[in-house]
Amino acid sequence: MLRAIVSMVLMTGALVSSASERRSPVGGAWVFDNAPPYPGVTMLEVTTRGGRTTGNVTTAWYGPMVMQNVKVEGDQVSFDLRNLNDKANATRRWTARLSGDRVSLVGDMWYAHVEQAGRRASADDVTARRFKFTELPALGTIAPDGQAKAPPMGWSSWNKFAEHIDDATVRAMADYLASSGLRDAGYIHVNIDDGWQGRRDSSGVLQPNEKFPDMKALADYVHSRGLKLGIYSSPGPRTCAGYQGSYGHVAQDARTFAAWGIDYLKYDLCSGEWFYSDADTVKRTYYEMGAALQATGRPVIYSLCEYGRFDVGEWGRSVGGHLWRTTGDITDQYSSMAAIGFEKNGNAAHAGPGGWNDPDMLEVGNGGMSDDEYRTHMTLWAMSAAPLLMGHDLRQTSPAMLELLTNREVIAVDQDARGVQGRAVYKDGATEIWAKPLRDGSVAIALFNRSESAAQMSFAPADAGLASLQSIRNLWQATELKVGETRFTVPAHGAVMLRVRGQPLSRNL
């Protein structure tokens, strides 16, 4: 009896499922005409064969995402999609409700909730939206090209303007760099970050958007001010702010940039992290653009922005990089700046003439930190031989910030020809002493107080690798100190920066 009931249930189940399959053969393609930007779902394709349903969700950011654990219930297909940047949820469940020629799609990805309605696709729709995969080249090695002997200095649009950047603002920044003395202090790069891109023309050539009417003319203008123009792209189909990336157009974009007169490229992984998620493919995608830039024959400073993944300092130079980000993004807060500057500024062994750890752009002058904190920011970056790329609206630079940014003696430490990245030689609670040996045998010393109240700090000659001191210069105050003056009151979140000379203790620092 029991057996009979069980087999009845099984039979009924089988009948129900085969009936529903017959009623609703789940298969076909649907397209979405007004996809929300992230991840930009443009098409849904579902196939049922031999009772098994498979499919893809095609997105502007990641191309086709394969459906996993597909379940069909009537006209509803539910499935998992791989989910990036959310360690707690490696996949997320999505649902497509198919009704006649319409589809409604609901799901989540990273930070975005997606709900969109689509229509059944024609064969032409499918062809037009089918993602075109490109193969990466085998990994090669790019020889040093003699650029970036010192860490690059200049200005970049992102920290202040984000996507709200345009031709007129870039020109205004160039004017200010030239007229304020910043250019002559070494800040020569004017870098347009994300948000300049428009569409590709019918030949695939990337055009700027309407905010940049003529990129070549802008480059000419920037060059006429004795400055260099930088631009930004991604190895993925979309940049971090959702603009056109270089996926499938790498060599073409490098040629476009060179033809415009671009001197600097920041290449930001962004949606490329979907395609290139291991060391091998990340190296190869950065090599691909490095080789493409080299093939243009134009010297271009190449900035790798993949947030420090896969020990980029180990291989950044060999793919043509002149600097490589060591972290995620800085924000205009002491906590963010300090976390990066003290803890995540990269392995000092990787830095040196031609290739630099990049702990991200400066926030000096953006208003979120006190003057002492900004002085610490500048001190940390100079001691770290970090690129000095200002990130504020230069027209709003206060006299105090201008003085801070143009302190020649501090800049000289950053730009020192020996190219050593300084490091902490002593840590005690919230206080740290850093040393950076310089070309002329002197040593830059920084005393950092990370606590919330002033601290008394002193240093010993041995901190600078010296047996005894012959001279001490206070760089922020531009004063010579007496040789015995090694004790300082360092303000809360503040720094004292010195350049000392003396008898060497050893050659090992």
Count how many residues are written for the chain: 509
Please report how close the Cβ of residue 268 comes to ligand GLA at its closest, in angstroms: 5
- The span of 14-22, 109-117, 237-245, 282-290 binding ligand GLA (CB under 6 A) equals 237-245
- Among 45, 80, 253, 268, the residue binding ligand GLA under the rule CB under 6 A is 268
Nearer Cβ to ligand GLA, position 363 or 414?
Answer: 363
Report, in Å, the least distance between residue 327 CB and ligand GLA.
9
How does DSSP classify residue 444? E
Among 75, 125, 329, 371, which residue interacts with ligand GLA (rule: CB under 6 A)?
Answer: 329
Contact in structure between 159 and 366 (CB atoms under 8 Å):
yes
By the rule CB under 6 A, 194 interacts with ligand GLA: yes
The whole-angstrom separation of Cα 438 and Cα 444 is 7
Q: Kindly list the strands in the beta sheet with 28-31, ordered across the sheet, starting from the edge strand earlier in the chain.
A: 63-66, 52-59, 41-49, 28-31, 112-120, 102-109, 91-99, 76-82, 68-73
Shortest Å, Cβ 163 to ligand GLA: 7
Catalytic residues: 268, 329
Of 193, 393, 432, 463, which one interacts with ligand GLA (CB under 6 A)?
193
Considering the rule CB under 6 A, would residue 306 count as an interface residue with ligand GLA?
no
Q: How far is the CB of 213 from ligand GLA (least distance, A)?
A: 22
Q: Is position 103 an interface residue for ligand GLA (rule: CB under 6 A)?
A: no
- Does position 305 interact with ligand GLA (CB under 6 A)? The reply is yes
Based on the shown chain and the rule CB under 6 A, indicate whether residue 84 belongs to the binding site for ligand GLA: no
Shortest distance in whole angstroms from residue 404 CB to ligand GLA: 22
Evaluate whether 300 touches 264 at the Cβ level (below 8 Å). yes
Cβ neighbours for 5, distance < 8 A, ≥ 6 positions apart:
none
**How far, in Å, are 152, 163, 196, 213, 235 from residue 207 at the CA level?**
27, 16, 9, 9, 17
How many chain residues bind ligand GLA (CB under 6 A)? 9
User: Is there binding between residue 389 and ligand GLA (CB under 6 A)?
Assistant: no
Task: Give the residue from 290, 293, 351, 302 showing the smallest Cα distance to 326.
Answer: 351
Cα separation, 173 vs 157, in Å, equals 9
Out of 96, 121, 222, 240, which residue is the one contacting ligand GLA (CB under 6 A)? 240
CB of 232 to ligand GLA, least distance (A): 6
**Three-class secondary structure of residue 233 per DSSP:** strand
- The answer to whether residues 246 and 276 touch, using CB atoms and an 8 Å cutoff, is no
159 vs 407 by CB, closer to ligand GLA: 159
Is 358 a binding residue for ligand GLA by CB under 6 A? The answer is: no
Query: Exactly one of 70, 106, 142, 241 binds ligand GLA (CB under 6 A); which one?
Result: 241
Q: Which stretch binds ligand GLA (CB under 6 A): 67-75, 128-136, 233-241, 448-456?
A: 233-241
State whether residue 382 is helix, strand or coil.
Answer: helix
Asked if residues 216 and 227 have their Cβ atoms less than 8 Å apart, the reply is: no
Q: What angle do CA 356, 438, 426 make, to 5 degrees?
A: 85
The site for ligand GLA (CB under 6 A) is made up of 158, 193-194, 239-241, 268, 305, 329
